[in-house]
Amino acid sequence: MTTKVAVKIRLKRFGKKRAPYYRVVVMDSRSKRDGRAIEEIGKYHPTEEPSFIEIKSDRAQHWLSVGAQPTEQVAAILKITGDWQKHKGIEGQEGTLKTKVAKDAFVAPEKDSVILPEAITPKADKAAATEAPAEEAAEAESTEAE
């Protein structure tokens, strides 16, 4: 059974509608959700792929050791980062945090190495369209004359 404590580790919401991001904070359990925090110990951005999670591990360990209770959401985040396992002294202290794969730097090709297709402009399209039937008609006349 957990005991009721005055200090909680919970999420403080920022952002706008349908685009939330959170800060992991240590707060008095009786304060408002977005009220004054005792200390900010991390960030959580759930809308990114994969979700961005950044926790100051030493501060999280400190607050867990002095009795601060995490909410369910923060407990799940701490399990992902491995801080909860470290606090409890169980296996899996490396956590399962996924990070973004760094994109390869874009390198522009050299100027003469790429062959670009000829530019097609509306005027060129009209000229090509009028030339093609004229050529076909000229070929048809030449075959009839023979």
In this prediction, residue 102 carries a pLDDT of: 73
What's this model's pTM, rounded to 2 decimal places?
0.61
In this prediction, residue 25 carries a pLDDT of: 92
Q: CB atoms < 10 A from the CB of 57, how many? A: 15
**In this structure, which amino acid lies at residue 19?**
A
In this prediction, residue 36 carries a pLDDT of: 87
The answer to which of 5-14, 40-49, 107-116, 131-140 has the lowest mean pLDDT is: 131-140
Instruction: Kindly report, residue by residue over 15-66, the tens digit of the pLDDT.
Output: 999 899 999 999 988 888 888 889 899 999 888 888 888 889 898 889 988 8
In this prediction, residue 80 carries a pLDDT of: 85
Instruction: Kindly report, residue by residue over 60-86, the tens digit of the pLDDT.
Output: 889 988 888 999 999 988 888 888 888
Token reading at 69: 């209770």
In this prediction, residue 90 carries a pLDDT of: 81
Average pLDDT in the chain: 78
Terminus-to-terminus CA distance in the chain, angstroms?
Answer: 105
Tell me the percentage of the chain whose pLDDT exceeds 90: 13
For residue 11, name the pLDDT band (cuts at 50, 70, 90). very high
| 109: three-class secondary structure by DSSP | coil
Q: With contact defined as beta carbons under 8 Å apart, do 10 and 25 qualify?
A: yes
DSSP percent split of the chain into helix, strand, coil, nearest 5: 35, 25, 45
Residue 21 to residue 70: CA distance in whole angstroms: 18
Averaged over 122-141, what is the pLDDT? Answer: 60
